[in-house]
Structure 1
Amino acid sequence: MTPLPIRRARPGDAEALSLLDHATWSALHAVTPCPQPPFAPFFDAGVRPEDHLVADFGDGPVGYVRLGLPTRLACNRHVRQVQGLVVAGHARGRGVGRALLRAACDEARRRGAVRITLRVLGRNAPARALYASEGFVVEGVLPGEFLLDGEYVDDVLMGRPLTAGRSTRPPSGRHRD
């Protein structure tokens, strides 16, 4: 099978990524209301092209993943966080989401990370299944963290190590002599 074409985003991708973002909005994964025009710029000082990997079959982006730091703290610079994963409806079922997720893990490693995390709504079973199939495990649940359309929805925290054979989980507090 031919690898899917994944590349770094470029400033010129902003409009296409914005349109993709708005076209794929869904209550299944969004915590904000459906955006209405005029839309804010896709890239800004806090969301830069270099924070995105794009799936592009040659005629424009069909998906993207945003990779960022979970906090501004120096003590957790070894962690990267998936802060968005979007695939166009017509490109779903072709492995685009999986390819983007794998590329994000590779990019996080390249940037020196030893762990990668993400947050997903508890009701988003398809995304949770994808993440689990790629080695992410549930590391925490914030029950009823969001009130969306009159329903309390859990915020599920998932993560995985990026280094082979080395746990990046903190010690449990117990040890053996």
Structure 2
Amino acid sequence: MRDLINQTRLGIRSNLYYLSLYGALALPDICGALSSANGQASGEKYKKWFDKYVGEKYEGFLDGEDCYFFRCSLLHQGSSQHPKNTYGRYIFIEPSASGGNIFHCNVLNDALNIDVRVFCEDILAGAETWLAEAEKDEQFVKNFTKFMRRYENGLAPYIVGLPVIS
């Protein structure tokens, strides 16, 4: 889990905003699933997780439901527009183009402007807080055995001696 968080953060620092945004938006699903009895993601788990671990930073602008709809439209259609969203679209100004200014939580007509770095970091910080709590939970420990991870020396009996991700 820490590898996923760290790689998403590395993407932000490397100006890989698409990849970072996709990774950050997937984290509430993953965290919600790992903490659940059935180990499966759902819209309700996503919304609840976002509201608990990130929502406070976006009060009045973005809640779990809107973030979930945004996640659905971006991850499944490659779009920042979802018909059930409060906003017509989401707009991210690339930090390198902003002259050092941060444009975050601004409503522009029917669009919400969010700083991509701040947004991703907020979700990553929420995931780190959640992980510190979840690692002690029996349900997490059970579900985490299935979590995709990197195996430095392979995964016997399939491949041994080479790093693999499985």
TM over 0.5: no
TM-score (norm 2): 0.29
Structure with larger RCO (C-alpha < 8 A, sep 6+): 2
More helix by proportion, 1 or 2? 2
